[in-house]
Chain A
Amino acid sequence: MFTQYKFWEPYASPYDPCPPMTVKSYSTPPQLYINFQPPGLAQFEPRAALYHGTLWKELFSPYPGPNKRGDVDE
């Protein structure tokens, strides 16, 4: 399933001074997967486009992402 966030597990040492964050995530927004936008992509209505920050639904990247793996991010 396509997701806009990826997760990884940093090594945690018993000597780390801060309580470890066992899972970290980073953003992988849609532009990374679209080499060249094809014509005719589905659009938001003008007002919704303004509030999404893009005219095209497929370019919308929500932030913040899901807190954990498997949460839906849209």
Chain B
Amino acid sequence: MWYYEKKLEYPVKVTECNPRLAKFLIEQYGGADGELAAALRYLNQRYSIPDKVIGLLTDIGTEEFAHLEMIATMIYKLTKDATPEQMEEAGLGAHYASHDNALFYHNAAGAPWTATYIQAKGDPIADLYEDIAAEEKARATYQWIINLSDDPDLNDGLKYLREREVVHSLRFREAVEILKEEKDKKVIF
């Protein structure tokens, strides 16, 4: 089971009321390489992967939920007191018409989250390579959002999340090495 802890993994701060940035950030909330997709991808793969890497998938999957809460916090703060006019100016008119200021699992273009974003091939190497690719794609997405944002406090949180993708990617690469089982038998390079 899971326990919720009433704190963020990282102190998220936002300087400006800027719903335009929320429109971009929602990509990491309900998009293909977003945090929801990541959490569900890893936690679902656990059931069919060798025991040696189940702990890693569990722990990274769990951390992704902490990142999802950070993204939600950023979006919440950026849109909390935004008026319908401000939402419309930010390109969130269509979102507002359907959801008011509620968060919803969709991407920056408004397409709802779908299970087709995540794969579970059942082949451990194929699944871990998918996970490495997902981390690199999420890293790139954070880069593009940072490029679009001029809010220094928000960017601070986004740089943290980008760095977490780097560390997760390394751990998944190590998981591949563990499953290859040749780490101590043969020196490569």
Q: Do chains A and B touch in the complex (CB under 8 A)?
A: yes
Q: Which residues on A sit within 8 Å (CB–CB) of B107?
A: none
Cα distance, A30 to B171, chains bound together (Å): 12
Cα distance, A53 to B146, chains bound together (Å): 16
- Residue with the greatest number of chain A CB neighbours at <10 A, chosen from B160, B161, B163, B177: B163
Residue A34 is within 8 A (CB to CB) of chain B in the complex = yes
Given A29-B166, A59-B166, A59-B167, do A53 and B139 touch, yes or no (CB 8 Å)?
no
Residue B47 is within 8 A (CB to CB) of chain A in the complex = no
Residue B80 is within 8 A (CB to CB) of chain A in the complex = no
Residue B173 is within 8 A (CB to CB) of chain A in the complex = yes
Partner of B163, one of A34, A36, A61: A61
Cα distance, A28 to B107, chains bound together (Å): 26
17 pairs of residues in contact across A and B, judged by CB atoms under 8 Å: A27-B140, A29-B169, A30-B170, A31-B173, A35-B173, A35-B177, A35-B188, A36-B177, A50-B10, A51-B156, A53-B160, A53-B164, A54-B164, A59-B167, A60-B163, A61-B162, A64-B147
Please report the total number of A residues contacting B with Cβ < 8 Å. 18
- Residue with the greatest number of chain B CB neighbours at <10 A, chosen from A31, A54, A60, A63: A31
Number of A-B pairs, beta carbon distance below 8 Å: 57
Cα distance, A29 to B163, chains bound together (Å): 9
Question: Chain A at the B interface: mostly helix, strand, loop or mixed?
Answer: loop
Cα distance, A53 to B159, chains bound together (Å): 8
Cα distance, A30 to B170, chains bound together (Å): 9
> Is B170 a contact partner of A37 (Cβ separation < 8 A)?
yes
Given contacts A34-B173, A53-B167, A63-B143, 8 further A-B contacts (CB under 8 A): A31-B169, A36-B173, A36-B174, A37-B170, A52-B163, A53-B161, A54-B164, A54-B167
